[in-house]
Structures are given as structure tokens and as C-alpha cells.
Amino acid sequence: MSTNSISSVSDSTKNTLSVLVKHNLNTFSRIIGIFSGKGFEIDSITFASEAEPGMARITLTTTGSEEIVEQITKLLHNVVDVKKVTNLTNKKFIERELALIKVSSSSENRTEIMLIAQAFKAKVIDLSPDKISLEVTGIRDKIDALIEVLRPHGISSVARTGAVATKREFKGKA
């Protein structure tokens, strides 16, 4: 398969994979190696301890065709310490991201920035005479929208976690 088909937008969709692994950084680096070695893109990746001691969950988002994601899943299953790979994309799942955004503020625009933060359910976590730091959680689109609304005020820094996700357990009618 050519590299062009990997990056083709027309047949590519965003996929969220949840990978249960034994907790060690060698596994994490092997997974990164799969992506870099095959030319697959990682949009975001998180690594955190799991409820079960000695286990960790890696949540990664990638863009690719169904065939590419199937290939990625097969390659991940071949990594020694990988216990389970779940493609959450076509399942009901909960996904969140965290961002810390530092915005320039003055007495003239401080109220407007705080109203914008309130509209996006962002928390003010730090204030200084010339900056406001906000914390916001939500889906990627919400965070991207907040950043765009704040951009005219002068964003001095953004730190984002990348997506974390889990399968939704609620089975009722929604």
C-alpha cells in the first residue's frame, strides 16, 4: 500500500483506539515505533495507569481508512505486552480532552474573556494583572472553538492532553 493512500483525506476517518497494556514504557515506545515505522499518523496519544495494578491504558487517535486501522490493530496485537485493542470509533464511547489556555487580559477585555470562559464552561485557574489562565475539558471541537474565540485576545500558550476515551456502558434510549 502506498504512502499516498495512508494520508488520503477522501477515504480517511478519525479513529479512536483504546489499548490495554502491561504498565511499562517499553510497550509505549514499541507502539510509537509501529506508527513511525509504517508511516501512520498519531493525532493524539495518552498513557495512564489503569484501575488494575500493573496495567495501563493507551488512548490514541489516528486518521486512516478502514483497512489502515485494521492493519494498525493487527500490528498492536503483536506487541508482547498488549492485552487488548478496542477500536471505539463505531461504538458508543465517551471522549474528553483537557486544555490549559493562557490569554492576555487587561481591564478592558477581562470581563469579555471571563464571559467567553463561562459560555464554554471553562474554569479560571490563575489570574495576574495581564493574563488569565483557563482550564477546559470536552471534546476536541469544543476546545478548538474556545481557542478560536479567544485568539483575537492574544493567546500566549496552550497545553492539551489529547483524547482519553472509554466505551459507554449506558444501554438505554438516549
pLDDT in tens, 22-52: 998 899 999 999 999 999 999 999 999 999 9
> Does position 1 have pLDDT exceeding 60, yes or no?
no
Please give the pLDDT value at position 172: 65
- Of 3.40.228.10, 3.40.50.10440, 3.30.70.1150, 3.30.360.10, which CATH number belongs to 94-167? 3.30.70.1150
> Does position 92 have pLDDT exceeding 70, yes or no?
yes
For the chain, domain boundaries: 3-90, 94-167
Fold: same for 3-90 and 94-167: yes
Distance separating alpha carbons of residues 137 and 122, to the nearest angstrom: 7
> Does position 114 have pLDDT exceeding 50, yes or no?
yes
Q: In this structure, which topology does domain 3-90 adopt according to CATH?
A: Alpha-Beta Plaits (3.30.70)
> Does position 2 have pLDDT exceeding 50, yes or no?
no
Could you tell me the pTM of the whole model? 0.77
Please give the pLDDT value at position 173: 63
Per-residue cell: 157: 500558550
